[in-house]
Chains A and B, each alone.
Chain A
Amino acid sequence: MIFEELDIVAFCAPLQWAAVVHLEETLLNIKFSSRGSTLIAAFTGELDHHFAEYARNKIEGELLKATTRNVIFDFTNLSFMDSSGIGVIVGRYANIRKLGGRVGIICKNQRICHILEISGIVKLIPVYESLDFALNALISA
Chain B
Amino acid sequence: MQPINEMKLEFVSKSSNEAFARVVAAAFVSQMDPTLEELADVKTAVSEAVTNAIIHGYENRYGTIMMICRQYDNSVEIEVTDEGKGIEDIEQAMQPLFTSKPDMERSGMGFTVMESFMDKIEVKSTPGLGTTIVLYKKFGNQN
Contacts and interface: CB of A to CB of B under 8 A. Distances in A.
A31 B18 CA distance: 23
A84 B110 CA distance: 8
SS class, residues of chain A in contact with chain B = helix
A16 B19 contact: no
A20 B27 contact: yes
Contact of B19 (A26, A87, A91, A120): A26
A70 to B, nearest CB: 21
Interface stretch (B42-50, B73-81, B118-126): B42-50
A84 B47 CA distance: 10
Contact of B105 (A48, A50, A91, A119): A91
B55 interface: yes
Interface string B73-114: 000000000000000000000001100000011110110110
A137 interface: no
Interface residues of A, number: 34
B18 A49 contact: yes
Contacts of B39: 19-20
A118 interface: yes
Contact of A50 (B19, B23, B30, B96): B19
Contacts of A14: 30
Nearest to B25: A20
Contact of A46 (B19, B54, B55): B19
Interface of B: 15-16, 18-20, 23, 26-27, 30, 33, 36-37, 39-41, 43-44, 47-48, 51, 54-55, 96-97, 104-107, 109-110, 112-113, 116-117
